[in-house]
Amino acid sequence: MVERYRLLKDFVKAEVREELRLENVVSEYYVAEPFIKILIVEDVEESRLKYYVVEPSLSFEEVQILSSLLADLKRILSLTDVTQELEERAKKLVKILNKLLKEYGILTSDQLYTKLLYYLFREFFGFSVIEALMLDPNVEDISCDGYEIPIFVYHKDYGYLETNLRLPKNVLDKLVLLLTQKSGKHISIANPIVDATLTDGSRLQATFGTEVTPRGSSFTIRKFTTKPLTPLDLIRSETIPSGVMAYLWLAIEHKMSIIVVGETASGKTTTLNAILMFVPPDAKVVSIEDTREIKLYHENWLAQVTRTGIGEQEIDMYDLLKAALRQRPDYIVVGEVRGKEALTLFQAMSTGHASYSTFHAGDINQMVYRFESDPLNVPRSMLQFLDIVLVQNMYLKKNKRIRRTREVNEILGIDPVDKNLLVNQFLKWDTKIDEHVQISSPRKLDKIALSREDDVYEELERRKKFLESMIRKDIRDYRDFTRLIHAYYRNPEVAVSKVL
């Protein structure tokens, strides 16, 4: 349970559990016990599952009391220092609540007092009416398409589900304003579209009003775990085999540039985030993003984010990338290549900077076509400085999303005769058997071998076994994983002994 509901339990006077009696309940679980319960229910008539949020119920009179308290608390707490610790802010909220109830002359039962506290915590410290959806670890996406339209979620076990949440105009407009405010952005009728990152790392796309989206304000939230997935998680989920992960580790150590391509929701950023955990501990890393998604456990890391503004005040990815090249980084990470920064990124590769990014394309051929076309216009002579291209795909298997690295491609140069890129695809995913199949040998290992005294193939096998040993040791936290990788760089024998 998140910290705010642990704190809430310190102030409640009675336990409140709301039971909703429904037939055909497929699954039920709490996301903030005892306040928020989730029910997955089968609608027999429509032959589909639905997602129900169960929260403490309020009578009409109790709703009026809560509305008055919210209005007064927002007025009184409008200048509250948000830099304070959550515990201090919670104590201040409870103190003022008790004072207001005394001024109102209202004697609340323990049950009502607990309900009021829950909803006040939800409004001031949480995500308002979608709090349950944001807390549910099984929900990957949240989608609201307009006024009085059911909110839909993507549940990792049951796929897309309609929820019992329908938001009227005033509630949805306030929620969109709240979400953009939490992300540090501004939305209005004059500026009705926002792409941003929420405080928990989730990606937000929102619209305001009916001019852009005629059905009303809307939002889509792609949730991201606060703890990024590690390469071990990708191996466990069969996204990437352990042998390929060991190969990528060697490639990153030797400053080979990698781009992860794929379509929407294919896991590009997740994969990029994971493999960046192989960066050597003493290397300098500069990351450049529109919205913060890269998360490293690395000391010498400069994270930069673009800023929208008016006229000369705007700072885009191209500006940040140009500045990054003057900072002598060992590794440059661009969240996603979309515009004129692409040429600068390839110039960085050509001058020896290890560069990493994601790119929206279905396969390597689409990637090359898009890079060479407007508005990117990267010449083919520069594409050869890219070393490795991972192609990601998302598939539905038994109504569940699975993500796989469909191809691993090495760019070996340019054919002097027909000027085509020389590509070695050494790994391919077989859809029918859901397995990765090696179809050739990785040629980049020969290049790596030139800069190593030991046998590169023996080292590849050693690192593969090291990763598999960490899985058997059940290493889960990205910080623990990164510490072990750093330990391996400093003393492989000692690091291996820690996981045996």
Closest CA to 199 of 121, 292, 273, 88: 292
Same domain, residue pair 175 and 146? yes
Domain endpoint, select from 196, 222, 248: 222
- Average pLDDT value for residue range 415-440: 92
Same domain, residue pair 197 and 55? yes
Same domain, residue pair 89 and 178? yes
Domain endpoint, select from 194, 222, 250: 222
Range of lowest pLDDT (61-65, 78-82, 366-370): 78-82
Residues in the chain: 500
Number of H helices and E strands in the chain, helices first, is 17, 18
- Average pLDDT value for residue range 93-101: 91
Residue type, 103: E
Same domain, residue pair 260 and 124? no
- Average pLDDT value for residue range 174-193: 91
* pLDDT attached to residue 196: 85
Mean pLDDT of the chain: 90
Same domain, residue pair 294 and 331? yes
Same domain, residue pair 214 and 244? no
CA distances to 256, 354, 427, 429 from 438, rounded to whole Å, are: 21, 26, 4, 9
CA distance 179 to 184: 9
Q: How confident is the model at residue 318 (pLDDT cuts 50, 70, 90)?
A: confident
Same domain, residue pair 176 and 288? no
Structural domains in the chain (count) = 2
CA distance 166 to 150: 5
Of all helices (H) and strands (E), which one includes residue 176? helix 169-182
Domain endpoint, select from 222, 257, 279: 222
Q: Do residues 332 and 354 lie in contact, with contact meaning Cβ atoms separated by under 8 Å?
A: yes
Q: Is the pLDDT of residue 245 over 80?
A: yes
Same domain, residue pair 80 and 213? yes
Same domain, residue pair 235 and 216? no
Q: Do residues 57 and 66 lie in contact, with contact meaning Cβ atoms separated by under 8 Å?
A: no
- Average pLDDT value for residue range 249-275: 94
Strand partners, 207: 193, 218
For the segment 48-57, what is each residue's pLDDT rounded down to a tens digit?
999 999 999 9
Same domain, residue pair 177 and 316? no
Domain range for residue 153? 3-222
CATH code of 34's domain: 3.30.450.380
CA distance 173 to 149: 13
For the segment 294-309, what is each residue's pLDDT rounded down to a tens digit?
888 899 999 988 876 6
- CB neighbour class for 44 (10 Å; exposed up to 12, middle 13-18, buried from 19): exposed
Which residues make Cβ contacts (< 8 Å) with residue 356, sequence separation at least 6? 257, 258, 259, 272, 275, 276, 331, 332, 333, 334
CA distance 443 to 424: 7
Q: How confident is the model at residue 157 (pLDDT cuts 50, 70, 90)?
A: confident
* pLDDT attached to residue 4: 85
CA distances to 23, 46, 55, 437 from 41, rounded to whole Å, are: 7, 12, 16, 40
Same domain, residue pair 148 and 252? no
CA distance 286 to 326: 11
Same domain, residue pair 303 and 409? yes
CATH code of 399's domain: 3.40.50.300
For the segment 412-425, what is each residue's pLDDT rounded down to a tens digit?
999 988 889 999 99
Q: What is the pTM for the complete model shown?
A: 0.81
